[in-house]
Amino acid sequence: MNILLIAPAAGNWSKIARKPFFNGKTFRFSMLSLLSVAALSPKSAKVTIVDEQTEDIPEGPFDLVGITAMTAVAPRAYALCDQFRARGIPVVMGGYHASLNTEEALAHADAVVSGPAYGAWEQVCADVQAGCLGRVYQGDPAATPPVHLPRHLLAKNQYVTVSATFATLGCTNHCGFCSINRFHGGQRHTRPIADMVAELKAMPDDFFVFVDDNLTQDRPYALELFKALEGAGKRWVTQVSIDTADDDELLSAMRAAGCMGVFVGLETFNEENLHAQDKDFNKPARYRDAVARFHARGMYVEAGVIVGFDADDAKVFRNTLRMLEWIRIDAIQLAILTPLPGTALYDSMAPRIIDDNWEHYDFRHAVFEPKHMSAEALQAGADWIIRRFYAPWRILRRIPRWAAMTGGLRSFPYILALNLAYYGRVRRFQIGGHDPATASEGAEHRDEKKSLRAAHS
């Protein structure tokens, strides 16, 4: 059986790896979706994995095609489905978008695997071989994921690390804008510690990424995991929620286990926005102290920041940039609020959506009418923050300050690489923008001058 697994890429990301500079390698760190599917395929099958960021899709022949898709690449995934179906090759979609929009995906794919691949993909392969492929296959969320993934199937030298993994799946919080809770049905599952140790031992790189959504949410499990990692000589980064910073024991255990940095969803500095998204556990007044506590353990902090919430007006961009500097954040992933289909946010925003092209649901486009500004202002302001935050002079200013704060150079290469990669993205995607508040103040100022001149003449 010849199986082709595709991670589609669209727009700026398509074939980006072929560029000599700013080729997105720092952001290519997890092909776990397709590696997991590959691991579940029949032992006798020949499996090919294609990441469209790095290579073209081969001609085949193939007996079965599997396609993964986040919402932003769903249109590209659908185009590929249509092409393979036209050639009479069965095509199956899985991943976030197809699981949360199954009917839509079924208009293009022969079948959809909803939820995890475990327990479903094995059946898909058997049914294809028997010539009786069904329409919807439900994965088993409680299944134990395979320990060894066929990482050798990934293209060489195209990933910052091929050693991404996860110890937990899901998150029990229910932030309104996030797909995780709905996808995992509000459940969180943990993998056996022995499996983690076995997997990490066999990994080809010493540096890896835990792609968990909230690695420390199950505190006893996290402590046990970190204990098991102590002395293994591994270095890793992950995602946690901000309250992790309040827990000295967890922080020390993370450091001892090799944690170099964390991605934390700060989202916004406005409590009203946090409340509206059911994320009250974030306390903006504590952000600065929390960042300092990570720094004190030699870990950098990259913040997830979102603009465009209902309490945001045109001043949010300047304020956000100022606050990010004040709390001494090391890097940001700045997003435009995006109502992803299947989330609570989507349900509440449906009447205000002005763009239903899924390709624009990449957190870089304003796809809805904001409450206190125009969609154009939201777009311009978001771009402006990214460009300003990653201006070379700001990066140069951050770095020595950062090294001093973390008491050494422990995580220095990581934070430098991250800042340069984001700077590269500004250049590659030509991110410009302007501050809408300054622009409107300027316009008001000009109007004032004009009317004064008119009054004097």
Residue 282 interacts with ligand SF4 (CB under 6 A)? no
303 binds, among ligand B12, ligand SF4, none (CB under 5 to 8 A by kind): none
Look at residues 397, 236, 244, 373 and name the one whose alpha carbon lies nearest to residue 310.
373
Please state, in angstroms and rounded to a whole number, the distance separating the CA atoms of residues 426 and 444. 30
Residue 62 interacts with ligand B12 (CB under 6 A)? no
Q: What string marks each residue from 137 to 166 as x (binds ligand B12 by CB under 6 A) or -?
A: --x--------------------------x
Indicate the helix (H) or strand (E) that contains 130.
Answer: helix 121-130
Cβ contacts of 231 within 8 Å, gap of 6 or more: none
> Footprint of ligand SF4 on residues 211-230 (CB under 6 A)?
213-214
Cβ contacts of 91 within 8 Å, gap of 6 or more: 64, 65, 66, 67, 80, 81, 84, 85, 108, 109, 110
For the CB of residue 264, give the shortest distance to ligand SF4 in the complex, in Å. 9
Residue 281 token pair: 């556990």
Indicate the helix (H) or strand (E) that contains 136.
Answer: strand 136-138
- Say how many residues touch ligand SF4, by CB under 6 A: 11
Please state, in angstroms and rounded to a whole number, the distance separating the CA atoms of residues 230 and 232. 6
Q: Which residue in 23, 30, 320, 419 binds ligand B12 (CB under 6 A)?
A: 30
For the CB of residue 259, give the shortest distance to ligand B12 in the complex, in Å. 16
Residue 68 interacts with ligand B12 (CB under 6 A)? yes
Q: Which residue in 3, 17, 26, 33 binds ligand B12 (CB under 6 A)?
A: 33
CA atoms within 13 A on the CB side of 2: 7
Q: Which residue in 33, 165, 241, 406 binds ligand SF4 (CB under 6 A)?
A: 241
* Position 155, amino acid: A
Residue 173 interacts with ligand SF4 (CB under 6 A)? yes
Cβ neighbours of 400 (radius 10 Å):
9
Q: Which residue in 16, 50, 73, 80 binds ligand B12 (CB under 6 A)?
A: 73
Please state, in angstroms and rounded to a whole number, the distance separating the CA atoms of residues 423 and 431. 10
- Say how many residues touch ligand B12, by CB under 6 A: 38
Please state, in angstroms and rounded to a whole number, the distance separating the CA atoms of residues 101 and 193. 33
Residue 72 interacts with ligand B12 (CB under 6 A)? yes
For the CB of residue 159, give the shortest distance to ligand B12 in the complex, in Å. 7
Cβ contacts of 275 within 8 Å, gap of 6 or more: none
Please state, in angstroms and rounded to a whole number, the distance separating the CA atoms of residues 68 and 50. 11
8 Å CB contact between 149 and 38: yes
> Footprint of ligand B12 on residues 195-214 (CB under 6 A)?
211, 213
Residue 407 token pair: 């008491």
Distances (CA, A) of 106 to 53, 98, 111, 171, 243: 25, 8, 6, 27, 40
Of the pair 214, 406, the CB lying nearest ligand SF4 is at 214
Judged by CB under 6 A, the stretch of 21-29, 241-249, 307-315, 322-330 that binds ligand B12 is 21-29
* Position 304, amino acid: G
Residue 333 interacts with ligand SF4 (CB under 6 A)? no
241 binds, among ligand SF4, ligand B12, none (CB under 5 to 8 A by kind): ligand SF4
173 binds, among ligand B12, ligand SF4, none (CB under 5 to 8 A by kind): ligand SF4
Please state, in angstroms and rounded to a whole number, the distance separating the CA atoms of residues 108 and 124. 17
Residue 217 interacts with ligand B12 (CB under 6 A)? no
Of the pair 75, 265, the CB lying nearest ligand SF4 is at 265
Look at residues 168, 126, 172, 161 and name the one whose alpha carbon lies nearest to residue 145.
168
> Footprint of ligand SF4 on residues 254-273 (CB under 6 A)?
265
Q: Which residue in 113, 254, 266, 421 binds ligand B12 (CB under 6 A)?
A: 113
Of the pair 266, 314, the CB lying nearest ligand SF4 is at 266
Judged by CB under 6 A, the stretch of 78-86, 90-98, 176-184, 313-321 that binds ligand SF4 is 176-184
Q: Which residue in 3, 16, 25, 29 binds ligand B12 (CB under 6 A)?
A: 29
Q: What string marks each residue from 360 to 399 as x (binds ligand SF4 by CB under 6 A) or -?
A: ----------------------------------------
Judged by CB under 6 A, the stretch of 87-95, 348-356, 371-379, 420-428 that binds ligand B12 is 87-95
Cβ contacts of 326 within 8 Å, gap of 6 or more: 288
Enumerate binding residues for ligand B12 (CB under 6 A): 7, 13, 27-33, 36-37, 66-68, 70-73, 92, 94-97, 113, 116-118, 121, 139, 166, 178-180, 211, 213, 340, 362-363
